[in-house]
Each structure stands twice: as structure tokens, then as C-alpha cells.
Amino acid sequence: MSTISEIACELNESVENRYELVLDIAELAKKLLDESRDKNLNDPFSEGKSVSSADKVIYQALIMVSSERDFGDGLIG
């Protein structure tokens, strides 16, 4: 199992409201993607390079959300 899957599984099992968790991750991923896009547009040396991939942004959002929660001795937190 990949690290991203392990993190997602542990988060899923450790929260009461999974719907809220999904919304938190999606909102943070959108924010990260928008920030990356804005930074790329304002960088004169970017030469139109693409912004972060969706997978990378979702992974970053998962890590950030999981780091905000305390899960004891688990994989994250």
C-alpha cells in the first residue's frame, strides 16, 4: 500500500465525520492549487510551465490535514 493510501486510510478510520474530512482536504487542495497557479503566473521565469499536478496537491493536502490531527502513535499526527 502506498504512503498516500496509508495516510488516507488512517485519517478515514480516525475521524467521526468523514464528510467534513473530505471537504477539508478538497478545500485545502484547491487552495494549494490556486496558490501554485498564482505563483506560476507571477513568476517571469516560469515560461508557462504547468502548475503542480493534482496528485501532488492532494497528497500535500492530506499531509497538512493529517498533521493538524493527533492520532497517537500512528503513521501520522
Give the tens place of pLDDT for each residue, 36-75.
Answer: 888 877 777 766 555 567 778 888 888 888 877 755 545 4
Instruction: List, in order, residues 6 or more apart from 73 with CB less than 8 Å away.
Output: none
Which residue is listed with cell 500500500?
Answer: 1
Higher-scoring residue by pLDDT: 51, 13:
13
Report the number of secondary-structure helices (H) and strands (E) in the chain: 3, 0
Phi/psi-derived region of residue 28, left when phi > 0, alpha when psi is between -120 and 50, beta in every other case: alpha
The per-residue b/e assignment along 1-22, b for 16 or more CB within 10 angstroms, e otherwise, is: eeeeeebbebbeebbeeeeebe
On whether the pTM is more than 0.75, the answer is: no
